[in-house]
Amino acid sequence: MKNFNYVKAPDVRGALAFLDREGDKACVVAGGTNVMVDIRAGKMNDLTLVGISDIAALRGIQEEDGKICVGALTTISELAASTLLAKQAPALYMAAKVFADAVTRNSATIGGNIAYASPAADTAPALLALKADVLIESEGGKRRVPIAEFFTGVNKTLLQAGELITALEFIPNPYSAFFKIGLRNAMAISVATAACAVKLAANGVIEDCAVALGSVAPKPLRAYEAEKILIGRKLDDDTVKAALEAVGAAISPIDDTRATGEYRREVAPVLVKRALLKASGICVHESCKDGEGRIQHG
């Protein structure tokens, strides 16, 4: 199993130097909840792991200048314990609450969840709905990528060799929500997820919105056509129905050991509907009220 090197970065500058030096051979490791599993399975070989878990500057949730900035090393447990997120970004809070299990949440980080780019990453749809930016640094400088452009495929992102995710940044939106279907209530990789964020005018017309889904395509994605249908209209039955049809057109779910593509196609719109209603403050489903994005298990 020990077919890797390990270096520990003392600070961001040190991490960037290691990443620059090792190039393609480098793999950033924070919580290690994906990396160690892949090494054991023989999927990652002869890499230099750059341990960043001691870099305090990359950890924490801050609200500044009307934006929330979540350090890449912030653990999922910290997201799930954040009263700021519970109020100002419920989608991300709800996703964190149902992420894996308590032990994994204590190790796993938001940056790692995004960088690993699993189609089933639970924080991804929440961050997509919140239209977050991914803040990236390298020896060459800093850049900022909208998360909707960040994912390029299964475990693939725009991140280049030598680059490190330092934070996720977004404008707070109390009108956001996330729901997940897993095959049990903890330690379950998502079968399907959805997150929505809305901005409602006083008359109930949707001024802006974002609809995002996970586990139903090679990468977490936004359902732009559904958003277009919703914007400028009230959240009535016909509008919801039309938007959900557009959701169906946006996704391309596959069969795997967790569920069939057909099932995902059935439930993805249900999750979007519930997330939309919850985000808009219209709660039709009791399970919405506990502030957790889990629908009962099967």
Partner 1 sequence: MSNFKLVGNKVPRHDAWAKAKGEQLYSDDYVMPNMLYGKVLRSKYAAAILRKVDTSKAKALPGVAAVLTAEDVPLNEDITKFGQMRDVGGGFEGLYKVLAHGKIRSKSEPIALVAAETEEIALEALKLIEVDYEVTEGVFDPREALKEGAYVVSSEDQANLIMETKVEKGNLEAVWEECDLIVENDYCTSPHDHAYLETEGGMAWLDENGIITLRVGTQVLEHYRTIAKVLKRHHNQVRNMSIPMGGGFGGKEDITVETYLALLTVATRRPVKMVWSREESLEAHAKRHPEYLHYKTGVTKDGKILAQQASIVMDGGAYTYLTPWVQMYSTINGTGPYRIENQECVSRSAFTNNTFSSANRGFGATQVNFAYERQMDEIAAKLNMNPYELRLKNVLKNGDSLSTGFIPEGHIALTELLQALREKMEKTPKPERLPDGRKVGRGIAIGQMSYGRLCFLHDSSRVAIRVELDGSVTLRAGVPDLGGGQASVLAQICGEELGLPIEDVHPFIMDTHLTPLAGTTTATRQLYMSGNACLVATRYVKDILAKKAATLLSCQPHELTFYDRKIFYTNDPQRSLPFVTVVGHVSNDGELLFHEGQFNAPFSEVPDLTNIKGRILPDMTYTAHGVELAVDEETGQYELLRIVAAVDCGKAVNRNSCEGQMEGGAIYNQGWVMEDLAWDKGITRNNSFATYLIPTALDAPEIETVLLESGGGLGPYGAKGVGEPADNDICPAIINALRDAIGVSFFNTLIKPQDILKKLKG
User: By the criterion CB under 8 A, which residues form the site for partner 1?
Assistant: 1-2, 37, 101, 181, 183-189, 191, 257-260, 262-263, 266-267, 270, 284-287, 295-298
Min CB(3)–partner 1 separation in Å: 9
Min CB(164)–partner 1 separation in Å: 27
Which is closer to partner 1, CB of 59 or CB of 97? 97
Three-state SS for the chain is: CCCEEEEECCCHHHHHHHHHHHHHHEEEECCCCCHHHHHHCCCCCCEEEEECCCCHHHCCEEEECCEEEEECCCEHHHHHCCHHHHHHCHHHHHHHHCCCCHHHHHHCEHHHHHHHCCCCCCHHHHHHHCCCEEEEEECCEEEEEEHHHHEEECCEECCCCCCEEEEEEECCCCCEEEEEECCCCCCCCCCEEEEEEEEECCCCEEEEEEEEEECCCCCCEECHHHHHHHCCCECCHHHHHHHHHHHHHHCCCCCCCCCCHHHHHHHHHHHHHHHHHHHCCCCCCHHHHHCCCECCCC
Which is closer to partner 1, CB of 165 or CB of 295? 295
Which is closer to partner 1, CB of 79 or CB of 295? 295
Which is closer to partner 1, CB of 5 or CB of 260? 260
Min CB(252)–partner 1 separation in Å: 17
- Residue 226, Cα to own-chain centre: how many angstroms? 19
Min CB(184)–partner 1 separation in Å: 5
Which is closer to partner 1, CB of 116 or CB of 263? 263
Which is closer to partner 1, CB of 35 or CB of 164? 35
Contact (Cβ atoms closer than 8 angstroms) between residue 81 and residue 102: no
Min CB(68)–partner 1 separation in Å: 29
Which is closer to partner 1, CB of 203 or CB of 257? 257
Which is closer to partner 1, CB of 54 or CB of 266? 266
Min CB(34)–partner 1 separation in Å: 11
* Burial class of residue 231 (count of CB atoms within 10 Å of its CB; 0-12, 13-18, 19+): middle
CA distance 123 to 206: 24
* Burial class of residue 93 (count of CB atoms within 10 Å of its CB; 0-12, 13-18, 19+): buried
Min CB(286)–partner 1 separation in Å: 3
Min CB(105)–partner 1 separation in Å: 13
